[in-house]
């Protein structure tokens, strides 16, 4: 059985491990293929007894459809098996969790990020639309992310697609009404256009942090679904006109007035035609050759032009990296880059200039990787910290100064979510930390002191990380500017003249 408490089921050829999630009718496990490749997959176990005969048949049809589909933004179904209890869908593993978690750990997504995601989702929907397939259960929990490092959306959970109705034979609604088009909930009569409504809800939630019908009670929810009111968009955060226009046209209650699929795919904010292609993505993620972990990165050509200190920083960075201390390594790489980038300016020998540029590229991409590692562990910390933080705030009620400083820290976290809020966030972190450290010094031993201590550490880690990010962006900008000019012959010769 796939039920909780029973541990993962057994399946020939695979070792099932942790539970990745469960939804309306299935439990999904991470698994390894026993054979040579040890390929990591996700296995979705659907308990047969939770399905009636017709549903089993529909599920099998769905499996057949999905097996024939290959699309970069649709989760790939590799195979399926079954035994007396379960049906198993063996799928491509998505290491980045689902979009719901992704949004809520960040509170909201910047418009730019939402747009890239929306393009990816739209390209999956266009592909399905051309094949006359509707998903019918689009929601953030059913949209997965390939990885956190370079997140690509993967549309998943075709459990209701096309053939199955979200109403079961007992007329019980099985999906989430928060994401369902009003005509689906109210009239039970619907067509492919419900998917466009759900896309609108998903976009709304990504940008504003919660779906438009978010409610405290079922009654309130029902009222909102049944009402005829136009969906109002919050004024903050400020969004582009195109983005607001798209939201408004997707979230049109009347399906005949809702934006059409064609208009959605060509809407200026989606603009599928100009979406980065698979090739450009591949180019963007490919790493320069010369692997980090195998070889030292700073021998050869570079030892000559650089005196001790700069090279030493890199040696240290590599060492910290190998010792598994990403924060220290990142900080050292950034310090080293502070030297390398100006070095590029002054280097006159073309060959050495190229060598430095290659190294700078390598250090930057390693620094980028480390940044992701640190940011996701920081995020875990921040998430863990939420309840402790609430408690701390509760215990600070009689201390207005403490409360105010904690308020500033919250503002810093909020700022961090904004597209270009890093510097402001950093200032706020520093401001709040200054206060909190003073308060910590005067705080008598006890629970509140412990909580405050942990919080100060969290905030410091966060601020440290941001500082590196700001710095790195600056040096990347400089190197890129250089790259544009640096290669042209005229610049090269003018450098030689210096
Ligand atoms: P259900 O039909 O029961 O809703 P889903 O296919 O939506 O099942 O899967 C439930 C949850 O399991 C998802 O929300 C996601 O968190 C996780 N999950 C599903 N498929 C994968 C996958 N391929 N890789 C990683 N996690 C997955
Ligand atoms: Mg699901």
pLDDT at 221 over 50: yes
Residues 6 or more apart in contact with residue 218 via CB below 8 angstroms: none
Rounded distance between C-alpha atoms, residue 245 and residue 157, angstroms: 29
Give the pLDDT confidence of 257-282 residue by residue, as tens digits. 999 999 999 999 998 877 654 433 33
Q: What is the pLDDT of residues 107-143, one digit of tens each?
A: 999 999 999 999 999 999 999 999 888 888 899 999 9
Distance 212 CA to ligand 2 centre (A): 20
Same fold, 14-92 and 385-477: no
**For ligand 1, what atom is nearest to the CA of residue 21?**
12
Nearest protein Cα to ligand 1, atom 6: 157
Top pLDDT among 8 and 277 is at 8
Q: Closest residue (by CA) to atom 16 of ligand 1?
A: 21
With the most atoms of ligand 1 within 8 angstroms of its CB, the residue from 2, 16, 44, 87 to mutate is 44
CATH architecture label of 14-92: 2-Layer Sandwich (3.30)
Confidence of residue 381 (pLDDT cuts 50, 70, 90): low
Distance 11 CA to ligand 1 centre (A): 18
Query: How large a percentage of the chain has pLDDT more than 90?
Result: 34
Alpha carbon of 137 to ligand 2 centroid (Å): 8
| Cα(411)–Cα(219) distance, integer angstroms | 33
What kind of architecture, by CATH, is found in domain 99-271?
Answer: Orthogonal Bundle (1.10)
Reported as a pLDDT band with limits 50, 70 and 90, residue 24 is low
Atom of ligand 1 nearest to the CA of 142: 7
- Assess whether pLDDT exceeds 70 at residue 389: yes
In DSSP terms, 88 is beta-bridged to: 45, 81
The number of the ligand nearest the C-alpha atom of 143 reads: 1
Ligand 1 nearest-atom number relative to CA 26: 3
User: Helix or strand or coil: residue 256?
Assistant: coil
Give the long-range contacts of residues 177-182, CB within 8 A, separation 24 or more: 177/213, 177/221, 177/225, 178/139, 178/211, 178/213, 178/214, 178/221, 179/137, 179/138, 179/139, 179/211, 181/255, 182/225, 182/226, 182/253
More confident residue, 89 or 300: 89
Q: Is pLDDT of 467 > 60? A: yes
Rg for the chain, CA atoms, rounded: 26
**Domain layout of the chain by residue ranges:** 14-92, 99-271, 280-378, 385-477
35 pLDDT tier (thresholds 50, 70, 90) = confident
74 phi and psi, to 5 degrees?
Answer: -130, 130
Catalytic residue at 137? yes
CB 123 within 8 A of CB 73: yes
- Is the pTM here over 0.75, yes or no? no
Q: Closest ligand to 87 CA?
A: 1
CATH code of the region 385-477: 1.20.58.80
pLDDT band at 209 (very low <50, low <70, confident <90, very high): very high
168 φ/ψ angles, rounded to the nearest 5 degrees = -90, -175
Mean pLDDT for the stretch of residues 437-441:
82
Ligand 1: lining residues by beta carbon, under 6 Å: 20-26, 28, 42, 44, 75, 91-94, 98, 141-142, 144, 156-157, 159
Q: Whose CA is nearest to atom 4 of ligand 1?
A: 23
pLDDT tops 50 at residue 84: yes
Determine the distance separating the centroid of ligand 2 and the alpha carbon of 156, expressed in angstroms: 8
Residue 395 in this model has a pLDDT that exceeds 70: yes
Q: Best substitution site from 14, 18, 20, 91 to test ligand 1's pocket, by max atoms within 8 Å of Cβ?
A: 20
pLDDT tens digits, 277-298: 443 333 232 233 232 333 333 3
Range with the lowest mean pLDDT among 269-278, 448-457, 485-494?
485-494
CATH code linked to domain 280-378: 1.20.58.80
Whether the pLDDT of residue 346 is over 80: the answer is: no
The phi and psi torsions of 154 (rounded to 5 degrees) equal -135, 115
Cα 22 to ligand 1 centroid, rounded to whole Å: 6
What pLDDT was estimated at residue 196? Answer: 97
In this predicted structure, what is the pLDDT of residue 380?
A: 67
Catalytic: which of 12, 79, 83, 137? 137
């Amino acid at each position: 059985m796939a039920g909780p408490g029973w541990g993962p089921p057994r399946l020939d050829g695979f070792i099932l491990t942790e539970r990745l999630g469960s939804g309306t009718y299935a439990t999904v496990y991470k698994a390894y293929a026993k054979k040579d490749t040890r390929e990591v997959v996700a296995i979705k176990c659907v308990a047969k007894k939770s399905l009636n005969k017709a549903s089993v048949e529909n599920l099998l049809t769905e499996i057949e459809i999905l097996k024939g589909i290959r699309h970069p933004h649709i989760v790939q179904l590799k195979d399926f098996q079954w035994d007396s209890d379960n049906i198993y869908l063996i799928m491509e593993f998505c290491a980045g969790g689902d979009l719901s978690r992704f949004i809520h750990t960040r509170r909201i997504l910047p418009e730019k990020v939402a747009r890239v995601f929306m393009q990816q989702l739209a390209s999956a929907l266009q592909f399905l639309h051309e094949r006359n397939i509707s998903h019918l259960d689009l929601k953030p929990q059913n949209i997965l992310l390939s990885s956190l490092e370079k997140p690509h959306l993967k549309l998943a959970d075709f459990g209701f697609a096309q053939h199955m109705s979200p109403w079961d034979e007992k007329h019980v609604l099985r999906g989430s009404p928060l994401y369902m088009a009003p005509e689906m909930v109210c009239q039970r009569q619907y067509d492919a256009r419900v998917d466009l409504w759900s896309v609108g809800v998903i976009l709304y939630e990504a940008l504003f942090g919660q779906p438009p019908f978010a409610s405290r009670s079922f009654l309130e929810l029902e009222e909102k679904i049944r009402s005829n009111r136009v969906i109002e968009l919050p004024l903050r955060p400020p969004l582009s006109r195109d983005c607001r226009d798209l939201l408004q046209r997707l979230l049109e209650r009347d399906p005949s007035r809702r934006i059409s699929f064609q208009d959605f795919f060509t809407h200026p904010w989606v603009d599928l035609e100009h979406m980065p292609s698979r090739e450009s993505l591949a180019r963007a993620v490919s790493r320069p050759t010369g692997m980090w972990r195998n070889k030292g990165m700073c021998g050869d050509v570079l030892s000559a032009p650089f005196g001790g200190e700069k090279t030493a920083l890199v040696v240290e960075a590599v060492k910290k990296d190998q010792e598994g201390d990403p924060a220290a390594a990142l900080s050292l790489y950034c310090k080293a880059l502070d030297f390398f980038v100006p070095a590029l300016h002054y280097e006159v020998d073309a060959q050495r200039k190229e060598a430095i540029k290659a190294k700078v590229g390598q250090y930057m991409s390693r620094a980028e990787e480390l940044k992701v590692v640190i940011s996701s562990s920081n995020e875990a910390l921040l998430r863990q910290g939420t309840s402790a933080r609430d408690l701390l705030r509760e215990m600070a009620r009689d201390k207005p100064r403490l409360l105010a400083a904690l308020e500033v820290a919250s503002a810093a976290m909020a700022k961090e979510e904004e597209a270009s809020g890093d510097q402001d966030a950093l200032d706020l972190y520093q401001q709040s930390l200054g206060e909190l450290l003073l308060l910590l010094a005067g705080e008598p031993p006890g629970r509140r002191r412990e909580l405050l201590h942990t919080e100060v550490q969290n905030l410091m880690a966060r601020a440290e990380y941001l500082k590196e990010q700001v710095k790195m962006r600056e040096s990347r900008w400089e190197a890129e500017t250089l790259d544009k000019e640096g290669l042209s012959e005229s610049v090269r010769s003018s450098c030689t003249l210096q």
